[in-house]
Amino acid sequence: MSGAHDMPGLLLGDGLGVDADMHDITLHDVDLFGDPVMDSTLALPTRPLPSKQLLQRLDELRTRGCCQGIAWSRQGTIASITPDGKSIDLRFLRCRPDSGTWELTSSNPWSTVSPPLQGGPIVHLAWASTSSPELAVIDAVGRVTILSFSITLNRSYSVRRWDSDPVDDLHAVVGCYWLPLVSANRSFNVTHGQAVWNQSDYRYDNFISPSMGPFHPNPGKSALLCITTNGFLKLFFSQNSNRIEETDIELENITSSEDLITHSAMCSDKNTVLIAMATASKQLKIVRAIIHWGLPQPTDKQAPPGSMPLHPTIKDSHVAVTSWLQHGAGNTPLDASMTQLSHIELLPAAVEGQPPTLSPPLVLTVRSFVPNETSPFSQEPQSIIDRWGIHFDQSQSLHPAFEQLGSKNAPRPPPLTPRLRKLESIIMPKIIVSIHQLQLGKVLCFVFSDGTLQYRDRITMNETLNETNITHITSLHHVGFQFFDASPCLQVAFSPTNCSFVQVCEDGTLKWNRLNYPMEDPTVALQDPSQYHAVLAGLSLALAPSAVHQTNCDDILAIARPFSQKTDFTYAWIREIVKLLKFSVDYSEESHHDQLVRNHHLQLCLSILNHLGFRGEFEPRSFGGKFAMLALNVRNIVILITIASNTPINLKGQLSPLDEPEVVEALAGCAKWAVDLLSWMTDCLYRLLDDPIFMSILSDPKRFPELANYLQSQGDVSLHLLLCSSTRGFLSAACRRLTHLQSLCTRATQFYKNASRPPSPLKNAYEKMQHSTSSSLVKVHKFDNLVGGLSEDIRSAYRRTLSGLVSKPKPQNGTGNTQQGQDGNEQLVKKAQAHCELDMLLAANPPPGFREVLFNFFNTSLPNFRVQTDPARLYFGNYDLLEVEDNPKILAAKKTAGKYIDVFKRVEIYSGAGTVKNALSKNGGHANGAGEEEGPRWRRCVRCASVMEDVYGQRPGFTFVLAQQRKCSCGGNWGLLPRGSLVT
């Protein structure tokens, strides 16, 4: 048997790889069946374990229905709860003043509530969709504070405090909902649905959706609904006196802990509020609530809509009930955590299919499973999505035989029977941390804990928006834009445009992620004409809702900015926006200036042109950027002078804003800026008159197409400001308001002279305004006459050159066809005229018919006007207020001096060492009577980087005028700068 020791397959010591102590059994030496030897380095990878932060977040989602710790307002403020839960941080997107690129600002803490908090930590944030954003801040026991952000994005005003709310866990909020705003038509909303490629360009289809109430009786206001864990529905509403009041109703009679509500969601449905409630006993209850605002019948038909006091009451009715824990095939619970909800969503009815039909409301719940780290099995995390459709069965019709009976006791059709229809569950192999609705609820976006996103169709739950499709565009995803750089996250808040989001990372930091084009140099992709048109259509379609509803669209500007390196991109994009929104750019005919000023779509296009032409506050602007900047500022000055010249309705007969020195001081600066603009434009026109190259271009019809390119090479926008009817209208309106101010100053100074009154702030302000208007190097009424003459010549040129488009009407037996032909001709002429106006707005060459107009203007009108001015004084004039200087040396000196222009008062202000100060403190005085360290803080526009002092109105007239500066002249929002700093 001694030979047995030589048999290698039978000895345990080396055959099975056991060491001398029989402790270690290794697999790499075992080859009993002739299979390849396994190496320990090829073992299956270990399953990544969920982080502690994710587990804590899931526990929070399962135990608390309202626990959204980050929210993004429709105006751009990003509010987030601090890690300790004692306060909130405020952030927003801003354009960097030094380069024009976009970034997320650092945190700005909100400190209205001082710790310690009596009700525990802050747990939930929810924004209203009002134009002056309101933020509901809710703590762990359901106390509600409402903040208003009416002026700047990062400074709030408390409109309701939670001091008087009870400190009781049974009042904890498990679901909240802000009522929607009233639509323009009240019964339906019209939105832009998709862009369809039509051989040579894109056709934009409109999408009509029902407008679901209820609404606050006062348009522009909303109301907050809250569901508490003890079954109460609370309504927080703004009384017509602007005071926040409260009413409630008991939805559920809670008798035991099993009846407590853990999660709830709400949505509007046919002027009622649908409520979905999940209880601790795993029941899903649907309740309908009707709000009666208690408005009395007005006895006076002329009474303002907001003058009646509100006395709201709520009525509820139970719709349906079922269990939210219903197992189907393959849905066997893996863990006790699968019997706990993490999300509940109630999706309102949505229009689907062709022909359009209204799909029923949908209840959606999420249950998540996270594998245990001690589990011996290789389990994967997953989320189960359960869905129920809320159906209201139609009443049955009676058989005709019953009608023949004629009996009063004949059976009547049963009422509508609501029911819940369970739909197929969806299992996803990831942990869902957020659900977001897109495209009016037709698309659902699921955000996972690894930072990735998935889009699914609301009805079929099939994946969507994951393929490029440039023939039918409904989203930037169809054009090829994607979210990159996914990072593990705990919470997510989407922007108002849904084109970017901010995520709370596992380390507590916030990260901004926006849609990006999948190329390092996007302009390379734009060399493909089809892709170029698709990018323009996609960006225009993404911008349209913001333009219609006047919500924040800064993230779209950030997405589009890299494309602006292509020379004609900005102009092409604005053309596409005008085509999509169908707004007027032609103001060549005589029209009231009010229509021009109220054209918010035009302001948005000028704002885009201004921003994409901005390269830094001490860098030269592009031609389009300079043009848009001047147009927006003169528009703003027209608005301010108009507002100040009119008394508010509530103060009519009591005072006028022009009786307050602060208002007159501000208008004096605006008047100085406006007369400087007229003088600067006149000087630029004189330089063109003396330019032989320019005059030769006007003289030669063959060279006339070179005019725009030559003006752009010189950086001279003065002629385009006159040729474009919209900016010419702004200039004409400014001239007439300056004339009004001159007349007002004359009467005021004569009054003070005759009255022999001692000096007063109001008298000094009027003297300052008179100095600003009378010291103009150009007579305002003469310049207005020059502009008026040019306008008449342009109208004549249009009639002369476009008359060829009008066909002579053929004789008809009736008059109907003749009238239709005339209407068609007028529409054709208007369309051609609008095309010419859009070209000049976007710095293109004027139409050939304008050559004769310009030739006469520069050879007759302008020389005659020149005789009435002093060209030398105009040439050496100081135009620093206009900020149109392109000389790098002058810009560098301005940067060194720290000189800025206040866009409200139109005075020079300076940045000092550690503080900011105005021109008075630079000359030895003190701003607002305070020392340098106590100087006023500044506001900076987040879109164009303009600045103004953070002033307050102590008088009603000044407050009324200052309210028009809640936004910058470009339409961007204000961010309040830290004291003594120019960095947000």
- Percentage above 90 pLDDT, the chain: 62
Residue 15 has pLDDT above 70, yes or no: no
Report the DSSP beta bridge partners of residue 93. 104
Closest CA to 579 of 192, 113, 162: 192
For residue 811, the model assigns a pLDDT of: 54
pLDDT digit string (tens) for 673-731? 999 999 999 999 999 999 999 999 999 999 999 999 999 999 999 999 999 999 999 99
pLDDT digit string (tens) for 863-914? 999 999 999 999 999 999 999 988 889 999 988 988 999 999 999 998 863 3
Q: Residue 652: pLDDT band by 50, 70, 90 thresholds? A: low
Return the H-helix or E-strand segment holding 929: none
Return the H-helix or E-strand segment holding 236: strand 232-238
For residue 272, the model assigns a pLDDT of: 94
Alpha carbons 878 and 516: distance in angstroms, whole number? 44
How does DSSP assign 141-191, residue by residue? T--EEEEE-SSBTT--EEEE--TTS---GGG-EEEEEEPPPPPSSSSEEEE
With 0-12 / 13-18 / 19 or more C-beta atoms within 10 angstroms meaning exposed / middle / buried, residue 624 is: buried
Task: Pull the structure tokens for residue 441.
Answer: 């609820």
Closest CA to 621 of 248, 55, 100, 175: 100
Cβ partners under 8 Å of residue 410, min gap 6: 398, 402, 403
Mean pLDDT, rounded, of the chain: 85
On whether the CB atoms of residues 559 and 513 are closer than 8 A, the answer is: no
**Which sequence spans correspond to the domains of the chain?**
1-43, 65-171, 583-878, 898-984
pLDDT digit string (tens) for 540-571? 999 999 999 889 999 999 999 999 988 899 99
CA 248 to chain CA centroid, Å, is 32
For residue 323, the model assigns a pLDDT of: 93
Return the H-helix or E-strand segment holding 576: helix 569-581
Q: Residue 594: pLDDT band by 50, 70, 90 thresholds? A: confident
Cβ partners under 8 Å of residue 95, min gap 6: 101, 102, 554, 557, 611, 614, 942, 943, 944, 945
On whether the CB atoms of residues 845 and 762 are closer than 8 A, the answer is: no
Q: Residue 5: pLDDT band by 50, 70, 90 thresholds? A: very low
Residue 273 has pLDDT above 90, yes or no: yes
Closest CA to 224 of 128, 92, 330: 128
Report the DSSP beta bridge partners of residue 915. none
Strands 157-160 and 489-494: unpaired
